[in-house]
Structures are given as structure tokens and as C-alpha cells.
């Protein structure tokens, strides 16, 4: 179980009457400088239609109404162009070279853009906690989403159940990152805002 301080109202808790799961999400502290990542999201599956509403339940009141998302299609088997989310539609785009395979871009019309590390769904709780801490570390070096995943699983690696059989991911990650530096994940000096429990 991770614990952290939060300066936001607590999200609704799951109950038997409310079967929809809440998002597993950590954000940088509100006063942190912008970096390459604004937080980390640990979805329960790679199904955007079922996962995105829980994420936006937390983010819409926190940041602003999210109107568009962009992902790399490598780890998302189905990317609908429009995703209905609680009374509005979020438009989805997919870009192979422009978007890091382990990141999701979220855009709010006229407000801004946020970048989240997407932690593979089958990741164990301890590993997810380390990745969330590293992605929300406001004082450490700025790291890309792929660099964080590589630091945890090895260069170009992702959990075995998500490996693509048609690409050489280690070579692609090496080229994408400009090499494979050794990175050690640690606990951030400043506490991130963990918005929901594990």
C-alpha cells in the first residue's frame, strides 16, 4: 500500500453498490515545475473504453475537462476515435513515432496538456509503486516514460505478457532514448499526490 499526502478532496470510494473501479493514479505536487511527465497511471487493462472514464473521474475536476487523448498504438489493441465519458466525448488519436509507447497525452481545450506514464496493467504493486514515485519525482532528473520502464524492467523491456512479437523493442528503445543509460528508481524527495489507493 502506498501512502502520500494530498491537497485535493478524496475521490469516491468503491462500494458493492458502485462496481466501477477508481483510477490508480499519482500526480506531481501541485507546485512542482513541469517536466517530461506530470504523473503516472496504472490501468487495470488495455481497454480504453472501460479504463478512461475512471481516469477522467479524477482528472476532470483536478485539471480541467479532458477533451482529447493521444497514445502510441503499440500497447493499446483497440483505440476508438471517440470515447464517451460521463456526458461528453473524448477524442482519441494515436501516433507511432510522436508519442512514447509508455505515455498518454491528455489535452483540455484552451487549458493545457498533461503527460502520464502508463504503467502496464499486469505490473505488481511494488513495481507500480516505484514507477509512480519515479514519475512524480519533482526533484530528480527528467525522464521519459520509456526510460522509467527501461530502468525498472531493463533496456527496451516491458512485462512479458505485453511484448509485441513483431518488433525488436530493445533496439527501438535504444534508438528512441539515444542510448540506454543506467537509471536507478528511487523515492522522490517531495511527496507526490497519490489520488487513489492501490
Q: Which of 55, 68, 35, 49 is nearest to 145 (CA)?
A: 35
Q: Which of 171, 129, 122 is nearest to 150 (CA)?
A: 171
Q: Which residues pair with 105 in a beta bridge?
A: 70, 115
pLDDT tens track for 76-115: 999 999 999 988 999 999 988 889 999 999 999 888 899 9
User: What is the pLDDT, as a whole number, of residue 107?
Assistant: 95
Instruction: Report the predicted TM-score, pTM, of the whole model to 2 decimal places.
Output: 0.71
Mean pLDDT value across residues 119-145: 90
Amino acid at each position: 500500500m502506498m501512502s502520500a499526502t494530498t491537497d485535493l478532496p478524496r475521490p469516491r470510494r468503491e462500494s458493492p453498490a458502485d462496481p466501477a473501479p477508481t483510477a490508480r493514479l499519482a500526480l506531481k505536487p501541485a507546485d512542482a515545475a513541469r517536466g517530461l511527465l506530470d504523473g503516472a497511471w496504472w490501468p487495470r487493462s488495455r481497454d480504453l473504453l472501460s479504463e478512461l472514464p475512471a481516469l477522467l473521474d479524477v482528472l476532470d475536476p483536478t485539471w480541467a475537462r479532458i477533451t482529447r487523448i493521444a497514445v502510441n498504438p503499440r500497447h493499446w489493441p483497440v483505440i476508438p476515435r471517440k470515447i464517451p465519458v460521463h456526458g461528453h466525448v473524448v477524442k482519441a488519436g494515436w501516433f507511432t513515432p510522436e508519442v512514447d509507447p509508455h505515455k498518454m497525452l491528455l489535452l483540455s481545450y484552451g487549458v493545457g496538456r498533461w503527460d502520464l506514464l502508463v504503467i502496464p496493467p499486469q505490473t505488481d504493486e511494488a513495481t507500480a509503486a516505484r514507477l509512480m514515485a519515479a514519475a512524480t519525482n519533482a526533484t530528480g532528473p527528467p525522464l521519459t516514460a520509456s526510460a522509467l520502464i527501461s530502468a525498472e524492467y531493463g533496456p527496451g523491456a516491458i512485462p512479458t505478457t505485453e511484448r509485441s512479437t513483431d518488433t525488436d523493442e530493445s533496439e527501438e528503445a535504444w534508438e528512441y532514448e539515444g542510448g540506454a543509460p543506467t537509471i536507478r528508481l528511487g523515492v522522490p524527495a517531495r511527496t507526490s499526490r497519490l489520488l487513489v489507493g492501490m
